[in-house]
A and B are shown apart, each in its own frame.
Chain A
Amino acid sequence: MDRILEVVIAKYNYWIYIVLMMIGLYGVIAKNNLVKKIVGMSIFQTAIILFFISMGMKKGATIPIIIHGQEASVRASDYINPLPHVLMLTAIVVAVSTLGVALALAVKIYKEFDTLEEDEILEKIRKS
């Protein structure tokens, strides 16, 4: 029992993000409305971003900006890992760009088909 509790406390952050990822993935695959799919995709990407950031944390450390006046004696364990943050800045920008393009496509689809439900759109395509 103790072992399980230990494992849970040490790793629960990762599990939360994995659950979030699965929610997002479910949204993309199973929902009918195009905007809901886009939202699911966004949740999925955000969960991955959070996952990366959580791996850079160090206990008792502060943000990775060297404190003014302490430049001479910098120790790496005093500051959290900056690399995941950098990678995730990039990933956030990429996610926003993909979101922008997906929304533009949704607007274009709406102008053409007048609906945003995927099954209705497929019906209209099949009829024409």
Chain B
Amino acid sequence: MLIWASGEFPPWGDPNSPASLHVSPRYIEKTMEETSVPNAVTSVLADYRGYDTMFETTVIFAAGVSCFMLLRLFSGRERSSHHYRHILTGLTLRVRRKGKQLPELEEFEPMDSLWTPYDLILRTLCRFLIPFIQLFALYVIAHGHHSPGGGFQGGVILGASMILLAISQDMRSALRRIRERTLAIFSVAGVAIYAGTGALCLILGSNFLDYAALSRIFPVDPVGARSLGIFLVEVGVGIAVMATMIVIYHNLASEGFLDEGL
């Protein structure tokens, strides 16, 4: 039935199809003069249809909160056994005691139940790569105006860098770098920046999410203000997506205990 309907579709690549003729030409032709952002996708995403993007960020935030709410187990339900490994001899102990892990001792290191041997190459390589990945992610976020990229893409890469840390070393070191509470505050802050920018425009007298109103407080003309507004919301989106990706990974991989993972 679906194929029968496609009989009427315009052929692939036709520049004169209604989809391309009706609404989109304005986006392409006017994006420079109305928003001074050459990347038409970013300007449509964050300005013309910025409201959709705000809710999209809210969707990913809701998914993160859902994973947290569904899986996270706080005190009272710990794992039933912990593993420890003697560093010098490689002897492993299994302590069958419910409760938190024993405090770190000199010769013993806590081990995940699915443990792989210490791999120098993997660990060093990842430690080396992660800062570059994060730098690239920041570049993607900031350069969303001029090249393919933007908040979502950069945020996912940032999140992936922390997940790489958690996979290559172990979840405890990733959690030491960025704690659970920080992640929660980041994810809220990201979406709040987006909604806050919109509300700021509202307070400054114009419609919700009308970035031209920002020109009243920043010393730029309305078109530049739109570009600035787009940048602000992209930053917000990037932070929110990063935090949510990490939260989802932590909760899924450790089944809520947040002490071990892959």
CB within 8 Å of B: which residues of A?
Answer: 7, 10-15, 18, 21, 54-61, 63-68, 71, 74-77, 79, 81-87, 89-90, 93-94, 96-98, 100-101, 103-105, 107-108, 111
Contact partner of B28 (CB less than 8 A), chosen from A7, A15, A74, is: A74
Q: Report the minimum CB–CB distance from A3 to chain B (whole Å).
A: 12
**Closest partner residue, chain A, to B23 (CB atom):** A83
Cα(A65)–Cα(B143), bound, Å: 12
Q: Please determine whether A15 and B3 come into contact, CB atoms closer than 8 angstroms.
A: yes
Q: Report the minimum CB–CB distance from B30 to chain A (whole Å).
A: 9
Cα(A87)–Cα(B53), bound, Å: 9
Q: Please determine whether A65 and B40 come into contact, CB atoms closer than 8 angstroms.
A: yes
B47-75 to A contact mask, C-beta < 8 Å, 1/0: 00100110011011011101100110000
Q: Please determine whether B7 and A11 come into contact, CB atoms closer than 8 angstroms.
A: yes
Whether B255 sits at the interface, judged by CB under 8 Å, is yes
Q: Please determine whether B152 and A93 come into contact, CB atoms closer than 8 angstroms.
A: yes
List B contacts of A90 (CB < 8 A).
52-53, 56
Q: Please determine whether A77 and B15 come into contact, CB atoms closer than 8 angstroms.
A: yes
Whether B129 sits at the interface, judged by CB under 8 Å, is no
Q: Please determine whether B28 and A64 come into contact, CB atoms closer than 8 angstroms.
A: yes
Cα(A67)–Cα(B39), bound, Å: 9
- 6 A–B pairs (Cβ distance < 8 Å), ordered by A: A11-B9, A18-B3, A18-B6, A66-B39, A100-B248, A104-B71
List A contacts of B11 (CB < 8 A).
10-11
**Closest partner residue, chain B, to A7 (CB atom):** B7
Q: Please determine whether B252 and A107 come into contact, CB atoms closer than 8 angstroms.
A: yes
Cα(A75)–Cα(B26), bound, Å: 10
Cα(A107)–Cα(B32), bound, Å: 48
Q: Please determine whether B40 and A56 come into contact, CB atoms closer than 8 angstroms.
A: no
Interface of A is mostly: helix
Q: Please determine whether B60 and A97 come into contact, CB atoms closer than 8 angstroms.
A: yes
Q: From residue 2 to 40 of chain B, which have CB atoms closer than 8 A to chain A?
A: 2-3, 6-7, 9, 11-15, 17, 19-20, 23-25, 27-29, 31-32, 38-40
List A contacts of B3 (CB < 8 A).
14-15, 18
Q: Please determine whether A59 and B14 come into contact, CB atoms closer than 8 angstroms.
A: yes
Cα(A13)–Cα(B17), bound, Å: 15
**Closest partner residue, chain B, to A21 (CB atom):** B2
Please provide the 9 A-B residue pairs with the shortest distance between their CB atoms, ordered closest to farther.
A97-B63, A10-B11, A76-B25, A59-B13, A64-B40, A66-B38, A58-B15, A82-B40, A14-B6
List A contacts of B49 (CB < 8 A).
86
Contact partner of A79 (CB less than 8 A), chosen from B6, B17, B28, B147, is: B28
Whether B191 sits at the interface, judged by CB under 8 Å, is no
List B contacts of A63 (CB < 8 A).
148
User: Contacts A18-B3, A65-B147, A103-B252: A81 and B19 contacting too (C-beta < 8 A)?
Assistant: yes
Q: Please determine whether A82 and B28 come into contact, CB atoms closer than 8 angstroms.
A: yes
